[in-house]
Structure 1
Amino acid sequence: MALECELKYLEADLADLAERLRLAGAETTGRYFEANTVFDRPDRSLKRDGILLRLREKQGHTVLTVKHPPEAPEPSALKIFEEIETGVDDGAALAEALGVLGFAPVFRYEKVREKWRYMDCVICLDRLPFGEFVEIEGDEARVLACAAGLGLNAACTTKATYHGLNIEYRVAKGLEPDENFVFEPGERAALLDELEKL
């Protein structure tokens, strides 16, 4: 089991950041599309306990992820979860098995992610249907140093999940409550077409 330690930066210019990372000699694994399905029990007890159960499809692969708060949390500027991940041969079969065990899909979300490695951190440039964000993973000192090196605004950070940020966005815009955040079909098709050309 690994610790996931991260901080999100808001109001980011992803194209500018990608260029700065390239010029700094950072390594990238490229940009790709993700489709995520989050599962829970009917009473939403996983959410209540701060546990995430997710199936993620990306680049032709499916990954099962379980995240939960650490048993002995320590104060940190970063969001910290214990994370278990494993590849899955048949995502549809696993989703069916989760249903038999009493778990059901509760919301879906999509994003385009461009992943980089720089200053001993993983930097994710994320485009979601409701905005653009930068997520930096690593230990606290390295994350803060990396963000400063990239010129990110230390006042524009959050430990919130994308799920939480979507809810905040919808409230701020006066939109109907909806836990899902997926691209409109035309926008999704255009994004997928753009990614195929890379």
Structure 2
Amino acid sequence: MTDVIEREIKVKLDVDPQKFIDRLVKEGYEYLGREVQEDIYLNGEAKDFKKTDEALRIRTVGDKIELTYKGPRMGSESKSREEITVVLDSRESMVKILEKLGYRPVYKIKKIRYTFKKENFTICVDNVEGLGNFLEVEGIDVEERELIDFFNKIKILFNLKEEVITKSYLELMVNALDHSNSN
């Protein structure tokens, strides 16, 4: 089990993600690999995570399965939350257990993630099904100011003009689905 404070900053990428990936390699960022992440988000009958600003997620990456609880936001300029994660043997069994406890799968999000490392930070280029391409900079157990300073270096180096997004992919997906249903 891991219990950490994760801080992240994300922007929508309006440039070709492959060019961005190539530039990260050229600038000396350590390439950690590509993975497909499939997330199932759950919500409770007795506890509505949308109202409490929490999340409960089951993530599958290849054969690896994790259950993560995300606490309410703590940061103002970045998305900062407590995260508690456990490794699972079976996604289906965990979903059944959670359903017995009153939780239901409500959203699925699939993304292709290219991950890089520099200093104490993880840099991810994500293609999120239905949402597009994003750059996400994450720091585990770092101060918010450290993350912002590191992100600003990347912003200048890569001439990024996009606005910072403090919403999670789940919130962006919910907004996109709500918007498409209202048309």
Q: Please report the TM-score for the alignment, with normalisation by the length of structure 1.
A: 0.78
Q: How many residues align?
A: 171
Is 1:150 matched with 2:154?
A: no
Q: Please report the TM-score for the alignment, with normalisation by the length of structure 2.
A: 0.84
CA distance in structure 1 between the partners assigned to 2:126 and 2:114 by the alignment: 7
Matching residue's letter, 1:146: I
Q: Deviations over 1:95-140 (max 9, x none)?
A: 1111111111111111111111124321111101221111111222
C-alpha displacement of 1:25: 1.6
- The answer as to whether partners of 1:114 and 1:126 remain within 8 angstroms in 2 is yes
2:7 to 5, 30, 34: 5
CA distance in structure 1 between the partners assigned to 2:104 and 2:35 by the alignment: 26
Is 1:132 matched with 2:133?
A: yes
C-alpha displacement of 1:49: 0.4
Matched with 2:35 is 32
CA distance in structure 1 between the partners assigned to 2:49 and 2:178 by the alignment: 23
Query: What are structure 2's unaligned runs of at least 5 residues?
Result: 140-146
Could you list the runs of 4 or more consecutive aligned residues of structure 1 that deviate by over 6 angstroms after TM superposition? Answer: none
CA distance in structure 1 between the partners assigned to 2:88 and 2:101 by the alignment: 17
Matched with 1:194 is none
- The answer as to whether partners of 1:127 and 1:133 remain within 8 angstroms in 2 is yes
- The answer as to whether partners of 2:46 and 2:102 remain within 8 angstroms in 1 is no
Query: What are structure 1's unaligned runs of at least 5 residues?
Result: 178-198
C-alpha displacement of 1:78: 0.7
After TM superposition, list the pairs within 5 Å mapping 1:1-198 onto structure 2: 1-10=3-12, 11-42=14-45, 45-69=48-72, 73=74, 76-129=76-129, 130-138=131-139, 139-153=147-161, 155-170=162-177, 175-176=180-181
- The answer as to whether partners of 1:121 and 1:146 remain within 8 angstroms in 2 is no
Partner SS for 1:69: coil
Q: % of aligned pairs identical?
A: 25
- The answer as to whether partners of 1:5 and 1:140 remain within 8 angstroms in 2 is no
Cα-Cα RMSD: 2.0
C-alpha displacement of 1:5: 0.7
